[in-house]
Structure 1
C-alpha cells in the first residue's frame, strides 16, 4: 500500500485532536450539570434517584467543533421550568442573564416565588428576519461568590415583560412581530446609547466614535475601525507562523452605508452593524458595577472568501500613550511593551491572552478579551487586535500548508475607560 503523504497524515491527526477536544468539552458540560444538581438538592441522598432526563443541561449547544455555539430555546408551558444560574468567580456579582424561550408570555420568579422583572428582545435568524418561535428574555441576578441560584420560568397570561424597542437604519424588517420598530436613515437621526455611567456616540455606519463620561461630562474620542493587512510580495510570505505584511494596514472600505440595528431595553441596549465580513455589536448594560461602566464589543468574523488578507479591529483614542502599551502574560503579570519604529511592523505585535491597555497621566483605556489574539499599538492612542487570518501559502515552518480552513469566528471584548490619578507623594 502506498504510504500517505505527511500533509494528509497531519490533517487526520489534527482533525482527531479537534474532535477529542470537542468531546471533552461536551462531557465537561455534563459534569457541570451533574455537580450543579447535587449542590442545589436539599436531600443529597435523592441524587441517585434522578434519571438522565432529569439532569441539568447547558443553555448553549454546539453541533460540531467547527460551528458556533447556539442558545437552546426553552419550551414553556403552565408547568414551570427551572433555570440554575452559577457565579464561578470569588466575588459578589450583579449580571444580566439572557435565555431563549418559546413564548412571548414568559414569567420569571425566584425560587421563593417572588416575580422578577424581565426584558424581552427579538431573536434574529438573519440580519433582517425575526424568529416567530423564539424570544430572548433577560433579567438581573445578584450572586454570592461561587454561588448558585434557582429561577422558575413558565408561560403565564399575567406576564408583563418590558419589550425592547428597535430603530433600523438603512434597512427594513418585514415581519416585526410583537416588537416596536422604527425605520430611519442614518443621516436623519444620531445613533447613541447611554446608561447612568457613560454615553456612547456612533457614526452613520454604526461604529463607535466617542465616549462621554457622565461624572464630569468630558468627551473622549474612542473610535472603532476595521482594517486589512495584506502579505509581502517577496519570496517569504505570511503563513501560519509568520506575519509578513505588505506595509501598514489599509482601511476597511464599503461603498454603501451598512444596515444598522439599534436596540434599547430595560437592562441593556446595543448597536449592531452588518458589514460584509463582520457583524459588529456594541452593547451597554444598564446596571451597577463594572458591567455597567464598561462596553461590550462582539464581532462575528467571516473571511472565508478572502485571499492573503488579515482583518484587524483598531481602537483609536485621544490618550497620549506615545510608543508604550501593556499586555498580560498568560493572564497573570502585566508586561510593558515598546513600539519601536526602527523594527519591522510585525516585530511590534505581541500576544494578548486576556487584556491589553494604553494610558497617560489622566486616563487608561483597557481592552479585555475572551480569547487570545495578537495585539499592537503602532501609533499613540491606538490599540489594534488581529481577529482572523486567511493565507494561501505555506511559510516553510513545518506545517506544509497555508491558513485556508477558516470558520466563522466569534470574538468578544470589553472596553473600559478609566480615570487615573498619578501619585506625586515624595516628588518635587
Structure 2
C-alpha cells in the first residue's frame, strides 16, 4: 500500500498567493472546460477576490431518505414529535428565498425527495426552478436518488441508484442540471470503490464530512484535508483519480452560527441602539474562525457548510442572517483593511477555485475505513446491523436485474398488464432508497426499517407480472406463474402442496451456470425431468432448521436464459422412480467426513466441529476449525461511556466467548449432497454441505433470536481458524469489486493509536474476505454485507447477527433489538481453498454467481401455447454466444421506446489472475450478441449514462507523486470490437429492434 504523500508545490494563504497561470497551463485549462455547456456550472460562479481569503458559504440541507421517520413521513412533515422535518416545506421555502435575492445560492442533493416535490409543482413553479438552475443559484450536488452508504452497498446497486437520480436531472434540466461534484457529507466512512465509481461517472471532485478523528488531526497538521484519491489499482490514471476534500465542520454550520428555526443561536442584530446588539462580536468571531480554518487548507479559499439535517424549512431565517454576515464582513471590515471576503457559493464553485489555484496535490491510495469519532468509538457495528434487511436488499438486487434483463430482452410485450411500461420502476426506486446511508446500513429506527422492507415487497409485485409476461413470450406458453418469496426459510406452499409443477430456472449471468435447486416439499419421492425430457437425478433431504423436507436436483441453465424442469410426485411403490429420503444418522459411530470430486471436509470426532479442509483437485490440505462465538456488547465502562449500538461496535471484552465447544453432528449423505448438521444451541444451528460437482464448502447458519435474559447484548460471529502464517494481513473487497489489503492495528496514512483491538480492526465485507500465505488462499464468500476481520493470524471472523440492549448515542434513539422476524436470521458462507494462482478466478467468479444467483419461477402445468403454430420451448438463451469469463454483463435495462442501456465490465484486476490469464484485455462483439434483439445504433456514455463519453471531460488535477497523466481519450467506438481493460466498465445506450415483432 502506498503512503500519503506530503503536499508538493507552492502553498497559498493570506500571505502567499499562487503564481499566475502559465500560458500553457491556462490553455490546457480552457481546453478541458471548453466543450459547450460542460462549463456552464462554473461560468455562473460568483467572482472572488484575489489576495484575500475567500470564504465560500454553502447553504444546504441534508435530507435523510428515511432514518428516524419513514420516507413519506419526512417528505410530508408527519410525526414531528419524533423529529421536526418536512422536506416539501424546505423546498417551498428555499424557492421563495432564492427568488427574493439574486445573490443567494442553494445546494440540493437527494432526488428521491426532489423528484417527488417537482412532480407536485405547477408549470409556473417548474419554470422558476429551471431559471434558478440556469443561473447556477440552485445547484445539485451528487444527484443520486439518495446519498448512499459506502460500506454495506454493492457497486451494481450504487450505479443503479446514481443512474436513476442523474437521469431525472438530465431529463428535467438538461446538461445544466448535471452535478459536477460528488457530495457524501454523512456516510460513516468512505470506500475506494465509491470514489472510483464517482470518477467514472464524470464528477470533477468529491467532498465528504465524516473523517476519523485521528486521521483528521494528522491531515490538518500537514494541510492534507484535500488531495487526489487514486481509487483504482487497475484503471489507468486519471480514469479513477478524483479530487477529494474533507469538509472542516463535517456538514454542520460553525458553532454559534446556526440560524434555522430549530437552532438556539442568536440572530445577527445590527442596530447599535438595541441592547441585543451583537453584530460586531459575530463578525469578530467569524473572522477568527475563518483564520483558524484557513490554516488547515492550502489555498486562499475555504468553505463553510451553512445548514444541516432537514434545515431551511424557514429559509428566510437562514438567508436573512447570511445576507447580514456577508454585508458586514465585506462592506465594513474590508474598508478597515480586512483580507477576508465572504460570498454565497456552492461545492462546484469552491472546487473551481481550487482547480484554478495551480497546485499539485498529494495522492491517496487506500480508503477511509474504519471510521471512529473518538477513542473507543468505532462505527463498525453497522457493517452487520439488521442482517435480515441486508439480505433482503441483496436478494432484491438480484431480482431487479432479472426484471430489467427480461424487460430489455422481450421489449414492449413484457410490459402488458396493469403496470404498463413502468413495471420495473417501483422496485428500481425501492432499491435506490435502500442504498441510503441509514437504510441498508441498518441504522434507522425499527418502524423505518419495516417501511424499507415494505417498499421492497411492493416493488416485487409489478416485476413478478413482468417476469410472467416475458417468460410466457420467450417460452411460447402462457402459464399461471407463481413466485415463492420465502424460499430462504424453506417455505413455499405451492411446491409443498402441488402434485406436479414446473420450475423455470432463469440465469442472469452471461455464462452458463450449474446450480442445485432446493425446494420445500411434503412428500418423499419425485420424478424430475429436464428441458430435453431426460430424467434428472434428485434427492429429498431434511432441513433441520425448518423441520421440512427439501427436493434437490441439479439444473444447467444457459447464459442469460432459462431452463424448464418438470417435477411430479411418484408413488413409493414404484422403486425405479423412488428417491428414498436419506436418514440423518448420529455420527458417533461414523467417520465424520464429507467429500465430493473436488473437496473433502473432515470433522473432529470428539467435538463434531470442522477440523480440516482438503482441495483434492489441487492437492491442498489445511487444518481449519470453524465455530460460533459472541462478544458481549459493552454498556460503557471506566475507559469510556460508549455503548455498542446500531452504529458502534464495542465489545465488553476483546476475547469472544465460544457458543459451544461440542456439537452432536448428524450426517446426511446422498448422491447429490453430503451434509453435517450441527446444533450449537437452542438459537444457533448450522448445516455444512458439499454438493456434487461444486468447489465450495457451504455453511448455512441459522441464528436467533439471540437471548438477552442475562442483560447482555450479544454480537455473534462465525470464526474460521486455519494453520496459515498470515503476518497480520487479510483482504476484503470494496463494494464487491476491487480488493484491499488490510493490516491489523495499522493505517497506511497515519500512526494509529488503537483503542479497540477488535472493533478497530473490523472492515466492511460486501462479498468476500480472505487470508493467504505463500502457497494457498482461504476465502469466505458472504451472501450479504457483514463486518469482518482477522483478529489473529490465520483467522477470519464474520459478524452474522447482533442484538443490543442500549442505544449508542448517535441519534437513532433506540437499541438494536429488531422486531420479529428480523431477530431470526439465516444465511450462507461459502469457503474456498485454492492455490494462489487459481484463487482469484475461483473467488471472483463464484462471488458473482452468488450475487446474481438463478431465479426460480414456478408454474402448475404446461399452459396455453403463446402462438398455436409454434411449439413451446423449454430452454432459452438471450445470448447467441457466452461472454468470456472475465466479462460480466453488469446492466441490461429497458431505457425507453426502442432503447436499452447496456453495461459490460471486465471483472478482473491487473495481475489478479495468472492461472487462466483472465486479467488480460478482452474484446467482445456486440453486433449480433443478443438473440431477441438487434442493435441498430450504439452510443457510449459515462458510467451513469448521463453524458456521451465522446463529449465528456473532467477537470485534470496534478498529482504531487507519481507520473503526471494526461486526460484519457475515449476509445473509438466499434460495436464489433468492444475492448475492456482490467476493471473497466463501459456503458452504452443502444437503439434496438426486437425480433419476432416485440
TM-score, normalised by the number of residues in structure 1: 0.80
Give CA deviations for 1:128-176 in whole Å, capped at 9, x if unaligned.
Answer: xx65xxx43222222211121112222344452443533433xxxxxxx
Q: Give the secondary structure class of the aligned counterpart of 1:320.
A: coil
Distance 2:659 2:450 in 1: 35
How big is the shift at 1:293? 1.4
Distance 1:61 1:161 in 2: 27
Give CA deviations for 1:334-382 in whole Å, capped at 9, x if unaligned.
Answer: 1111111752221110000111111111001111111100000111111
Give CA deviations for 1:224-271 in whole Å, capped at 9, x if unaligned.
Answer: 02211122524111111111222323232448x434221101111111
Distance 1:120 1:69 in 2: 13
Is 2:713 aligned against 1:313?
Answer: no
Distance 1:417 1:125 in 2: 27
Give the alignment partner of residue 137 of structure 1, picking from 527, 551, 561.
Answer: 551
> 2:4 matched to which residue of 1?
none
More divergent stretch after superposition (93-102 vs 267-276): 93-102
In the superposition, relative to structure 1, how do residues 402 and 415 fare at CA in structure 2: closer, same or farther (>3 Å)? same
> 2:771 matched to which residue of 1?
358
How big is the shift at 1:301? 0.7
> 1:415 matched to which residue of 2?
831
> 1:294 matched to which residue of 2?
696
In structure 1, runs of 5+ residues without a counterpart are: 43-49, 170-183
Give the alignment partner of residue 281 of structure 1, picking from 687, 707, 712.
Answer: 687
Q: Give the secondary structure class of the aligned counterpart of 1:235.
A: coil
Q: Is the 8 A contact 1:324 1:339 kept in 2?
A: yes
> 2:475 matched to which residue of 1?
40
Distance 1:125 1:382 in 2: 27
> 2:736 matched to which residue of 1?
331
Give CA deviations for 1:85-118 in whole Å, capped at 9, x if unaligned.
Answer: 1112111212221223444342111244222222
Is 2:82 aligned against 1:6?
Answer: yes
> 1:191 matched to which residue of 2?
592
Q: Is the 8 A contact 1:168 1:259 kept in 2?
A: no
How big is the shift at 1:31? 3.2
Q: Is the 8 A contact 1:163 1:265 kept in 2?
A: no
Q: Is the 8 A contact 1:34 1:55 kept in 2?
A: no
Distance 1:207 1:31 in 2: 46
When you count strand as a share of all residues, which structure comes out higher? 1
More divergent stretch after superposition (103-112 vs 410-419): 103-112
In the superposition, relative to structure 1, how do residues 123 and 403 fare at CA in structure 2: closer, same or farther (>3 Å)? closer
State how 1:206-285 maps to structure 2 within 5 Å: 206-215=608-617, 218-230=620-632, 231=634, 232-233=636-637, 234-254=640-660, 257-276=662-681, 277-285=683-691
Q: Give the secondary structure class of the aligned counterpart of 1:393.
A: coil
Q: Is the 8 A contact 2:615 2:834 kept in 1?
A: no
**What's the RMSD between the two structures over aligned residues?**
2.9
Q: Is the 8 A contact 1:162 1:266 kept in 2?
A: no
Q: Give the secondary structure class of the aligned counterpart of 1:166.
A: coil
Distance 1:84 1:366 in 2: 31
> 2:456 matched to which residue of 1?
21
Is 2:518 aligned against 1:98?
Answer: yes
In the superposition, relative to structure 1, how do residues 118 and 258 fare at CA in structure 2: closer, same or farther (>3 Å)? same
Q: Is the 8 A contact 1:162 1:265 kept in 2?
A: no
Q: Is the 8 A contact 2:734 2:766 kept in 1?
A: yes
Is 2:508 aligned against 1:88?
Answer: yes
In the superposition, relative to structure 1, how do residues 326 and 38 fare at CA in structure 2: closer, same or farther (>3 Å)? same
Q: Give the secondary structure class of the aligned counterpart of 1:165.
A: coil
Distance 1:212 1:19 in 2: 44
Distance 2:791 2:543 in 1: 39
How big is the shift at 1:190? 3.1
Give the alignment partner of residue 113 of structure 1, picking from 533, 546, 554.
Answer: 533
> 1:168 matched to which residue of 2?
585
> 1:376 matched to which residue of 2?
789
Q: Is the 8 A contact 1:207 1:225 kept in 2?
A: yes
How big is the shift at 1:218? 4.5
Distance 1:8 1:401 in 2: 18
Q: Is the 8 A contact 2:491 2:520 kept in 1?
A: no
> 2:491 matched to which residue of 1?
70
Larger radius of gyration between Structure 1 and Structure 2: 2
How big is the shift at 1:22? 2.4
Aligned pair count reads 379
In the superposition, relative to structure 1, how do residues 318 and 97 fare at CA in structure 2: closer, same or farther (>3 Å)? same
How big is the shift at 1:295? 0.6
In the superposition, relative to structure 1, how do residues 295 and 324 fare at CA in structure 2: closer, same or farther (>3 Å)? same
Is 2:476 aligned against 1:57?
Answer: no
Distance 2:803 2:743 in 1: 28
Distance 2:768 2:659 in 1: 28
Q: Is the 8 A contact 2:732 2:739 kept in 1?
A: yes
Q: Is the 8 A contact 2:570 2:577 kept in 1?
A: no
More divergent stretch after superposition (158-167 vs 270-279): 158-167
Give CA deviations for 1:23-68 in whole Å, capped at 9, x if unaligned.
Answer: 22344344333332322116xxxxxxx5xxx431124437xxxx95
Q: Give the secondary structure class of the aligned counterpart of 1:401.
A: coil
Q: Is the 8 A contact 1:329 1:352 kept in 2?
A: yes
In structure 2, runs of 5+ residues without a counterpart are: 1-78, 86-444, 747-752, 839-910, 915-998
Distance 1:142 1:72 in 2: 25
Q: Give the secondary structure class of the aligned counterpart of 2:482.
A: coil
